[in-house]
Amino acid sequence: MAKYGDKASEKVHEALHEEKQGKLKSGRSGKKVTSRKQAIAIGLSEARKEGGKVPPRKAAAKKAGAKTASKKAASKRTASKKTASKKTSSKKTASKKTASKKAAFKKAGTKKTTARKSGARKSAAKKTAAKKSAPRKT
């Protein structure tokens, strides 16, 4: 059985004829088509639009194959998510407990850290003062 119908061959023939005359232009940019392969592709595309018997583009066929593979992977993911959701619910309650402990610890520890910072500032000020007062070596 033939891959391409009569309409496809007719459209390709017209596109090649226009390309030889220099009248065939690409759709998006409107530039003249100089490649025979591009002319054939344009003819096949026009035949597809008009409903002629033309196989799908290679890129479209690859995408379709990828879609079915992604659907299979998605179904596997949903099955694993169901079992994982049970595990995460217990993890969530544990994380809430640790979060509350951390918040309480932070409140108690803020006073200590500010005291440390002010002490660090004082020692840094002393060091700079000592540097200024020390005699320089020549």
The ranges assigned to domains in the chain are 1-53
What pTM did the predictor assign? 0.43
Q: Convert the pLDDT of each residue in 76-130 to its tens digit.
A: 666 566 556 555 555 666 666 777 777 766 666 655 555 566 666 667 777 777 7
Strand partners, 32: 25
The secondary structure element, H or E, covering residue 3 is none
Q: Between the CA of residue 88 and those of 49, 81, 97, what are the distances in Å?
A: 51, 10, 14
The secondary structure element, H or E, covering residue 27 is none
The secondary structure element, H or E, covering residue 76 is helix 58-133
Q: Convert the pLDDT of each residue in 22-50 to its tens digit.
A: 999 988 899 999 999 999 999 999 999 99
